[in-house]
Structure 1
Amino acid sequence: MTKISGAVGAMALAATLTLAAGLPAAAADKVIHMGTMSWEDLTPITGITKKVLEDKGFTVEVTDFSEWGIAYAALTRGDIDIIASQTDYVTHDYWVKNMNALEKISPVSHGLYQAIAVPSYVDIASLEDLNAHAAEFGGKIIGIEPGSGLMRDAATAVEEYGLGLELVEGSTGAMTAALKAASDRKEWIAVTVWDPSWMMMKYDLKFLADPKGIFPAAQSYYWIGTKGFSAAQPTAREAIASVFVPLNDITTINAAVNEGKTMNTAVADWIADHADLVSRWEDIKSE
């Protein structure tokens, strides 16, 4: 997935336990240490939930992690209180390994899907159609970073479907550039991609059918926390559980960022456009 460089920006404060420890007990109880990954799907979820918690009187300190293993270790140690994660597939191993020290708070979005896609003008519908049109695709499927879950699944698909196309390892940036160039010329191209992504909207992509079920089904996003968080912070838990951000809205926010807005501005604009909904989220029980 595409990383948002500096995406959390001003909303990311250094999450340090020493700060909370120096506050009076009542004030420390109102501090929520939130983790995030700077991916384009998770950053809007983090920003929107942060705003809802702040409107309920909490101070939210955000720590940005570069890898899921580091993030889960911090959550298990209690360095952070909560983080949004896709526990069904993307982070399933980390969840299972640490679940006795954690709790699942609530779902916050649904529909993440990663697979092989083509522009809508490409006249095929299934992975099974690729071999018959290998020449039109230049004998290649344009991939992203090696070692990612998406690339592992794509490699499995190449093997299971007996595809004669080369899965090209590279980077998200290189894949995006190749996709833009091909789309501008209306050439055929197959890429490894995910939804939500601004690319799905900008380039009008369609996922190829996967009759063998190689790629995981649509995944949900959950807020997860350190064990006992909900009992210790019932008002925060109520606020977090009220938030649900549809996948299309995440895509819209990231499309705005791709067009030049900062993530903070795009999230703020979304909140302003959905002020009535957000106010309903905030009508919750207090401690």
Structure 2
Amino acid sequence: MRAPLLPGLFFLLVVSALLTAGCGGGDDGKTLEIADIGWTENTAISALTKVLLEEELGYESVTVNTSDLDSVYEGVARGNLDAFQDVWLPNQQDLLASVEDDVELLGPWYRGQTQQGIGVPSYMDATSLDQLTESETDLLLGIEPSSVVMEIVSEEVIPAYDLDQKLVEASTQGMFAEVDNRYDSREEFAFVAWSPHWMNQRYDFRYLEDPKDAFGELNNQAKIQMVVNEDLSGDDPVAYAFMDAVTLDEEQLNDLESTINEVGDPLEGARQWAQEHPEVWQPWVEATENARES
């Protein structure tokens, strides 16, 4: 006698399911894989991306994968990674060219001045690379050997100026631990320096002039961009729109990095910065929401 109720019950279940699906404005269940090679601006932007996609746009999980520079490009090309957000050009042009058929390069997200070179504390007398041999420093503190700037320093800068300082390879964090110790002790030392980075606010130092142009293209302004898998725009238009909308100027990026540095944890630092500066990221979320609705 109860069989006639089944069609009506089935209809109600279908309607309920459709209404539930229609009310979901977020992207619950979506996941994303992004890369962090350990460079300060990369750690900052990837942490901020994770916080905003998960907490503002409803992603279930955004995984930040730690990797080296060479592996990142291959990972994005193969689809193991969805995005890499710290593409310095022209520094990484060769790496980009090797996978250009399988990735998409987005426009610059950093809107500010860049600088790369060798720095020394302002309490030292040297103002140019050709004066470094006259200083008392015997070490040139560097970062990861996979970085293009380290390759240029080793193969071009040191020979061009006949520098006798030992080039020390280390992680970026390891280099700054050494810089901190030597700077606080007012020792003479030189180190690989670049902007944007919180070091430009933390330390009173100068970039040494390069009269022989040994750094070549690295003496020019660089662009910092993102590279995504070629299928991301179709597979995940929300994530694609978010990546394409992100922009930070020099003050904003330095402030984000400094907050993370002070808090001591990338995610907590990015979350705190986001809470303090909603006017910066809300336009990104709005642009992403527009893409979701279109």
1:274 pairs, out of 257, 274, 277, with 277
**2:117 match: secondary structure:** strand
Aligned to 1:150: 149
Alpha-carbon distance, 1:96 to partner: 0.3
The question of whether the paired residues in 2 share the 8 Å contact of 1:105 and 1:237 is answered with no
Alpha-carbon distance, 1:49 to partner: 2.4
Distance 1:107 1:148, change over 3 A: closer
Aligned to 2:71: 70
Aligned to 1:92: 93
Aligned to 1:141: 140
Alpha-carbon distance, 1:148 to partner: 4.1
**Partners of 1:115 and 1:237 in 2: CA distance:** 33
The question of whether the paired residues in 2 share the 8 Å contact of 1:40 and 1:254 is answered with yes
Alpha-carbon distance, 1:162 to partner: 3.4
Aligned to 2:166: 167
Aligned to 1:242: 245
Larger Rg computed on CA atoms: 2
**Partners of 1:117 and 1:129 in 2: CA distance:** 12
Is the counterpart of residue 212 in structure 1 residue 212 in structure 2? Answer: yes
Distance 1:53 1:146, change over 3 A: closer
Alpha-carbon distance, 1:100 to partner: 0.5
Aligned to 1:36: 36
Structure 1 segments, 4+ long, off by >6 Å, are 26-29
Structure having the higher helix fraction is 2
Aligned to 1:16: none
Aligned to 2:286: 283
Distance 1:49 1:142, change over 3 A: closer
Distance 1:258 1:98, change over 3 A: same
**Partners of 1:82 and 1:178 in 2: CA distance:** 31
Alpha-carbon distance, 1:175 to partner: 4.2
Gaps of 5+ in 1: 1-25
**2:89 match: secondary structure:** coil
Is the counterpart of residue 120 in structure 1 residue 122 in structure 2? Answer: yes
Distance 1:212 1:230, change over 3 A: farther
Gaps of 5+ in 2: 1-25
TM-score of the pair, normalised by structure 2:
0.75
**1:152 match: secondary structure:** helix
Distance 1:277 1:138, change over 3 A: closer
Distance 1:28 1:183, change over 3 A: closer
The question of whether the paired residues in 2 share the 8 Å contact of 1:85 and 1:91 is answered with no
Is the counterpart of residue 233 in structure 1 residue 236 in structure 2? Answer: yes
Distance 1:159 1:79, change over 3 A: same
Aligned to 1:15: none
Distance 1:231 1:248, change over 3 A: same
**Partners of 1:89 and 1:241 in 2: CA distance:** 20
**Partners of 1:46 and 1:88 in 2: CA distance:** 19
Distance 1:171 1:239, change over 3 A: closer
**Partners of 2:143 and 2:39 in 1: CA distance:** 14
Alpha-carbon distance, 1:282 to partner: 1.9
**Partners of 1:29 and 1:174 in 2: CA distance:** 37
**1:95 match: secondary structure:** helix
Alpha-carbon distance, 1:97 to partner: 0.6
Alpha-carbon distance, 1:223 to partner: 1.9
The question of whether the paired residues in 2 share the 8 Å contact of 1:34 and 1:60 is answered with no
Paired amino acid for 1:262? D
**Partners of 1:260 and 1:57 in 2: CA distance:** 25
TM-score of the pair, normalised by structure 1:
0.76
Distance 1:42 1:237, change over 3 A: same
Aligned to 1:23: none
Alpha-carbon distance, 1:130 to partner: 2.4
**Partners of 1:278 and 1:212 in 2: CA distance:** 42
Alpha-carbon distance, 1:105 to partner: 2.6
**2:116 match: secondary structure:** strand
**1:130 match: secondary structure:** helix
Distance 1:87 1:149, change over 3 A: closer
**Partners of 1:229 and 1:174 in 2: CA distance:** 35
Aligned to 1:129: 131
Over the matched positions of the two proteins, sequence identity in percent amounts to 23
**Partners of 1:51 and 1:177 in 2: CA distance:** 27
Paired amino acid for 2:103? L
CA RMSD of aligned residues (A): 2.9
The question of whether the paired residues in 1 share the 8 Å contact of 2:137 and 2:165 is answered with no
